[in-house]
Structure 1
Amino acid sequence: MIPQYASALLISDLHLTPSMPLTAQRFFDFCEKEAPKVEVVFILGDLFEYWVGDDAALHSPFHQEVKRALATLSTKVKTYYFHGNRDFLIGSDFLNKTGMTLLPDPSKLEIAGHDYVLCHGDGLCTADVGYQAFRSLVRKPWLQRLFLLMPLDWRRGIANHLRSQSAQQYQHTQQQSPALAQIKTNVTLAACAAVLRGQSDRLIHGHTHLPAHHQEQLGDQEWQRWVLSDWDMDHPERAQPKASALRIDASGVHYSDLIKS
């Protein structure tokens, strides 16, 4: 039997890092104020900007503060976690200390009487063939074990290199073909239809940073799709501050603006 809940809050893509203190503080406030008011909280990946192993958090006062906030939240409300593309190395030690439960990506759950499929969303971006090959490789347990045996400084260096390389590739594609860049970084209808087939007609994910509610169809299959927002309250020069959650309860599905609340 799939897990069933009467009310939920869903968040994703906070990319927490010490260099973004306003975003981090809004997350701490969320854990104290909004989150305990529902039955369950889902964090759909990329809570952190990057994660190179649970042992790295032991040396970071910032990550220890986040851990304490999550541990306190987990004593008040059931808290689930999905691996994102930035923090898929979060392991059992961190999960045990925070009280969060890791869910496989994707997972089917019942919230307020409806079935939903939840996932981070990067696995749905199948137009980016290169990324999907990379994703398949780095999710292999044997490769992760080898990576985690490396010295911490090496792991951080590799992570920073991969992030820089990814940003450069995106900028290059954006300059050469903005339309292609948009296609490669978004989900495909075929991937959404495949993950929902025989499971549900409601899909929720993050990753793309394109919050919206979609009514979609492929062939004779129809579904609704909600995309979660990323959070950023520290770079007003780039865009307006962003922080929102998706709330599901008996009244329906609603986006909650956490900037104004």
Structure 2
Amino acid sequence: MSGRGNPPFDLTMTTLFISDLHLSPLQPQTTDCFVNFMREEAIHADALYVLGDLFEFWIGDDDPSEFAAQIKSEFLSLTQRGTPCYFIQGNRDFLLNKRFCQETGVTLLPEHTVIDLYGRKTVILHGDTLCTQDTKYQSFRAKVHMPWLQWLFNRLPFFTRRCIVSKIQGDIREVKATKSLDIMDVTQSEVEALMTSEGVDLMIHGHTHRPNVHHFSVDDKKYTRIVLGDWYHQGSVLVCSPDSNSLEVRRFAQSMTQAAENRPYD
């Protein structure tokens, strides 16, 4: 993993992957790093893939806040200047939908998608579906992804939705405090099953906040799983080219506040 703090300026033939930024008006340093990344790096790339949890929580595409408008503006500027951007919903932004895409030029992808990454078939996803040992979360996930429930939720007043989400987030934090970190990590057999069923030897995902490059073998065939990092203390970017994949960090302009450093694993 590279510790480089400044972005490269020659980004010819690169595809970029990010996830788990958890953008929020309460964390301006993260937003500043993201804006700099969009304007200085993503604009020169072949494509940008956002693999979920871009926001701390996305309550709906009708979010009227200046903050939501700012983030949308960055994506619109990127896509209008010729860099395609693709988005896979995470567990914090599963309500991001068509309106956001229409207003930004971003393309929404299914929960796991196989792409051609410079000639190499690669499966990309947020990663929460791989954490099958966390049965309570998987049950919760199944409920909130019910189309009829999302339809009802989206028709509530925005203020009401925000109150509901605040209560849910508080409940989730309490549950996480008692969970084993291993339970919240991916299940290796699930990783292997997805990769073999899709016929790929490379997987890229986020969600676990454990940036790393994992190599393993199944029936003498070699596989690679790249895990993206979160943006709590610094930016995390996977830079892929035809010849290499580099998991890198992007330092914030200043040190994060103590409150940010105490953010929970998610």
TM-score (norm 2): 0.86
Q: Is residue 113 of structure 2 the alignment partner of residue 107 of structure 1?
A: yes
Match of residue 87 from structure 1: 93
Residue in 2 aligned with 1:122?
128
3-state secondary structure, aligned to 2:181: helix
Give the 3-state SS of the residue equivalent to 2:231 in structure 1: coil
Secondary structure of the corresponding residue to residue 213 of structure 2 = strand
Post-superposition offset of 1:155: 1.0
Residues of 2 paired with 1:164 and 1:217: CA distance?
A: 40
- 8 Å contact kept, 2:203–2:226: yes
Counterpart check, 1:213 vs 2:218: no
> Which of 216, 241, 245 lines up with 1:249 in the alignment?
241
Of the structure 1 ranges 86-95 and 164-173, higher mean CA displacement relative to structure 2 is found in 164-173
- Which residue does the alignment assign to 1:28? 35
Shift of 1:88: 0.5
Matched positions, count: 239
Structure 1, gaps ≥5 residues long:
1-5, 174-180, 233-240
Q: Single out whichever of 153-162 and 99-108 deviates more from structure 2.
A: 153-162
Structure 2 SS opposite 1:155 = helix
Which structure has the highest helix share of the two? 1
CA contact (8 A) 1:209 1:228 kept: yes
Counterpart CA distance in 2 for 1:162 and 1:187 is 23
Aligned to 1:73: 78
TM-score (norm 1): 0.88
- Structure 2 counterpart SS, 1:143: helix
Give the C-alpha shift of residue 251 in structure 1: 2.3
Residue 188 of structure 1 aligns with an amino acid whose one-letter code is T
**How far apart in 2 are the matches of 1:168 and 1:242?**
25
Q: For the residues of structure 2 that align with 1:81 and 1:27, how far apart are their CA atoms?
A: 15
Q: Secondary structure at the match of 1:250?
A: coil
Determine the structure 1 residue equivalent to 2:163.
157
Could you say if the C-alpha distance between residues 218 and 168 of structure 1 is closer, same or farther in structure 2, counting changes exceeding 3 Å?
farther
* Structure 2 equivalent of residue 192 of structure 1: 191
Shift of the alpha carbon at 1:10? 0.2
Query: Following TM superposition, by how much is the alpha carbon of 1:217 offset from its aligned partner in structure 2, in angstroms?
Result: 3.9
Gaps of 5+ in 2: 1-12, 254-266
Match of 1:201 in 2: 201
Does residue 141 of structure 2 align to residue 140 of structure 1?
Answer: no
Does residue 1:50 correspond to 2:57, yes or no?
Answer: yes
Partner residue in 2 for 1:177: none
Seq. identity, %: 36
Q: CA deviation at 1:221?
A: 5.9
Cα separation, 2, equivalents of 1:102 and 1:225: 22
Counterpart amino acid of 1:69?
E
Change (3 A) 1:65 1:193: same
Please state whether the residue corresponding to 2:126 is helix, strand or coil. coil
> 3-state DSSP class of the match of 2:177?
helix
Q: How far did residue 140 of structure 1 move? A: 1.2
